[in-house]
Structure 1
Amino acid sequence: MVPRPLHVVNEGLAFALEIAALAVLAWWGADVGDGVVLSVLLGVGVPLVTAVVWGLFAAPKARVRLPLAGVLLVKVLVFGAATAALYALDHGALALVGAVIVVANLVLATLDRNALVRNRA
């Protein structure tokens, strides 16, 4: 199991990454839209739909309880979309750094949760 201070830092990082993903998707939506109306619709709509999907399937208190593989799939899709959006916005280096941080965060969180489940059994 991960030491408590590292667990707390990793959980805080996870939340920051989730907010950053929504911000990047809003930025991408606003940038890709052709005209003010479409830019606003995509800039608001893409992160809104993403937040709803996250809340339904990937949040700690998700309405739909998926197995770990399902939750990880949702997280990979959301963070993958944010990474692709950053790349499309011509920020390839930032996309790569963000992707590495996300992978490290998800791996550490998954190992921590698996250890917690084993200790409860």
Structure 2
Amino acid sequence: MSSEGRSTPATPSGPPWFMANELLAFVVELAALAALAWWGFATGDGVAARLLLGIGAPVVAAVVWGMFAAPRARFRPPLVGVLVVKTVVLGSGVYAVHAVGHPVAAVFFAVVVVANTGLAETFRRRAVPTA
């Protein structure tokens, strides 16, 4: 498979605060997947349903994220499409935290998601001046 036409940097770069925000973005993504697994294992009647939801929900979210929202996504929709995917996946993680009985943690998670995603998407799209 060729990567012609794609310009994906080998290593991310930027000011230290931006790199810290990128690290936080990765942690938020993992937290959303963990929350979906937690919700799945806590929901459903019977062992089979819990296993299906606990494993299936984060797997589906990870596949959708990897196809459309990851930095090296196979299909890269316009910004609106990427934001829709991020809203669905990360919002599902926030809902999952609320659904397992932690509304305050869900609000905190939502605030972190919105702030982190807003900063990341705003500054990723700015042109980096060359020295």
Question: What is the TM-score with the length of structure 1 in the denominator?
Answer: 0.92
Q: Deviations over 1:29-51 (max 9, x none)?
A: 11112111111111000100110
Letter in 1 for 2:94: T
Correspondence for 1:42: 53
Larger relative contact order, structure 1 or 2 (CA cutoff 8 Å, min sep 6)? 1
Superposition misfits of 4+ residues, deviation over 6 angstroms: none
Which deviates the most, 16-25 or 32-41? 32-41
Mark the structure with the bigger radius of gyration: 2
Q: How many residues align?
A: 117
The counterpart of 1:79, out of the listed 78, 90, 99, is 90
CA RMSD of aligned residues (A): 1.4
Identity of paired residues, percent? Answer: 52
Letter in 1 for 2:84: L
Correspondence for 1:113: 124
Letter in 2 for 1:97: F
Structure (1 or 2) with the greater helix fraction: 1
- Name structure 2 gaps, 5 residues minimum: 1-13
What secondary structure sits across from 2:127 in the alignment? helix
What secondary structure sits across from 2:74 in the alignment? coil
Letter in 2 for 1:44: I
> Which whole-Å CA distance do the structure 1 matches of 2:54 and 2:99 have between them?
15
- Name structure 1 gaps, 5 residues minimum: none
